[in-house]
Amino acid sequence: MQNTIPDLDGFPVIIELPVQWGEMDAFQHVNNVAYFRYFESARIAYLEKIGHVETMHTTGIGPILAAARCEFKRPLTYPDKIFVGIRVSNMGTDRFTMQFRIFSQKLQKIAAEGDGVIVSYNYRERRRAPIPDEVRQRIEELEGRTFPLSHHG
């Protein structure tokens, strides 16, 4: 998708989602849990784009969400269309941080921002593992930059 939203400049993956009526709560705005679902949808789109699912099938090493945070800036309401931008902000030996930004078409403003820490996990051995080299390279290609290797993701 070609980015035409200045607030999402610098986000290499942007997904478009409808706000569902059922996501609203008794306070007549989208429940905060839905924002984490939006982030998850963007995270999956990003991981699919870099082929992380295939890497996981061949190596047993895949992503696991270790932490997630959201700053709610403006309430979303139905009906609306949102654009969720996602990028990797830093990368360590066994983890990387993804930044999210939700832009509301109806409000024409940023509705929320957040981040998530993704740990590289060996599902066969049930322990953390270094990020596979091919995954690191694909992230750097998609982001258009290299990440200095830090041990504290």
Domains detected in the chain? 7-139 (3.10.129.10)
- 46-55, 108-117, 143-152, range with the lowest pLDDT: 143-152
Question: What are the Cα distances from residue 134, in Å, to 17, 54, 59, 121?
Answer: 29, 11, 11, 15
Mean pLDDT of 21-40: 96
Contact assessment for residue 86 and residue 68, using Cβ atoms and an 8 Å cutoff: no
Backbone phi, psi, residue 91, to 5°: -145, 130
Please tell me the least confidently modeled range out of 48-57, 103-112, 120-129: 48-57
Please state the rounded mean pLDDT for residues 110-138. Answer: 97
- The predicted structure's pLDDT at residue 150: 62
- Supply the pLDDT for residue 88: 98
Residue 9 reports pLDDT greater than 90: yes
Q: Which two three-digit tokens encode residue 89?
A: 């902000």
CB 53 within 8 A of CB 93: no
Mean pLDDT of 7-30: 96
- Tell me the per-residue pLDDT of 69-82, one tens digit each, with 9 for 90 and over: 999 999 999 999 99
Query: In Å, how far are 37, 77, 122, 134, 139 from 33, measured between CA atoms?
Result: 7, 14, 28, 33, 27
Q: What confidence score (pLDDT) does residue 153 get?
A: 45
pLDDT of 152 above 80: no
Mean pLDDT of 14-32: 96
Residue 2: what pLDDT?
60
Residue 148 makes CB contacts below 8 A (sequence gap 6+) with none
